[in-house]
Copies of this chain bind each other. A is one copy, B any other.
């Protein structure tokens, strides 16, 4: 009865998976043909569909970014033996920022040629990164069985990766001031870094 009140790993995983499932599906709610009062003909439908392409691009980038964060969360909970309240609250913050993604994506999809949209999107990503980075810190330094020295070493590696990710997001925000089109692709770069991350983390 020593750990009564300590939430198990299982439920925070279930809640997080649920949040990701809903957020990933809600992204697509934004793909919608404009309401028309009369009947559409084939040419008008094609034009409407083509007009959705920038939204589709934002949607796919956001989906891939969410995939990277989900994989990261999985690796995290795979590493820990159990969770404590500090970890839980950081996880709850993490999903709070995840729930913003459908909104900031929609903003990018509709108005990414305006200065503020890529900035708001970048700030959203930076907040998710910060929450996940804090979760890694708690996990590695307090919630695993590995030796103190190895934990410190792994935390150092993880932290450097997150610093790199912060730099990418910062660059994207800065570039957005020059040309919004760059920004979207820098976020895509962020995604490729994400996909490459797992292997080294395993090796260490």
Contact = CB atoms under 8 A, between A and B. Distances in A.
A138 to B, nearest CB: 16
A85 B67 CA distance: 12
A134 interface: no
B26 A25 contact: yes
Interface string A6-39: 1110010111011111111111110111000000
Interface size range of chain A in the complex: 35 or more
Contact of A28 (B4, B60, B102, B115): B102
Nearest to A101: B28
A161 to B, nearest CB: 13
Contacts of A85: 198
Give the top 7 A-B pairs by smallest Cβ distance, nearest first. Answer: A18-B21, A5-B202, A22-B25, A14-B17, A7-B74, A67-B92, A31-B103
